[in-house]
Amino acid sequence: MIPISDDNPTRLVPFVTWTVLGLLVVVFLWQLSLGAAGEAAFYIYGFVPALLFTDLGLPPDIAAAAPAPAVTLLTSMFLHGSLLHLGGNMLYLWIFGNNVEDAMGHLRFAVFYLVCGVAAALAHGLIEPSSQIPTVGASGAISGVLGGYLMLFPMARVTVIVPLGVLLYPVKIAAFYVLGFWFLLQLVSAGLSSPDQPGVAFWAHVGGFGAGLVLTPFLKTDRFPIFGRRPRGPWG
Please give the model's pTM, rounded to 2 decimal places.
0.91
Please state, for a pLDDT cut of 90, what percent of the chain lies above it: 75
Q: Read out DSSP for 27-78?
A: HHHHHHHTGGGHHHHHHHHSB-HHHHHSS----HHHHTT---TTTHHHHGGG
27-36: long-range contacts, CB 8 A cutoff, minimum separation 24? 27/78, 27/79, 27/80, 28/79, 28/80, 28/83, 28/86, 31/79, 31/80
Those residues with Cβ within 8 angstroms of residue 100's Cβ, 6 or more apart along the chain or in another chain? 109, 112, 145, 148, 149, 152, 216
Q: Tens of pLDDT along 3-28?
A: 999 999 999 999 999 999 999 999 99
pLDDT computed for residue 227 by the predictor: 87
Round to whole Å and give the CA distance between 215 and 182: 19
Which pLDDT score, from 0 to 100, does residue 200 have?
Answer: 86
Question: Would you say residue 195 has pLDDT above 70?
Answer: no
Per-residue model confidence as pLDDT tens digits over 83-131: 999 999 999 999 999 999 999 999 999 999 999 999 999 999 999 898 9
Is the pLDDT at 191 greater than 50? The verdict is yes
Q: Which domains does the chain have, with CATH numbers?
A: 2-219 (1.20.1540.10)
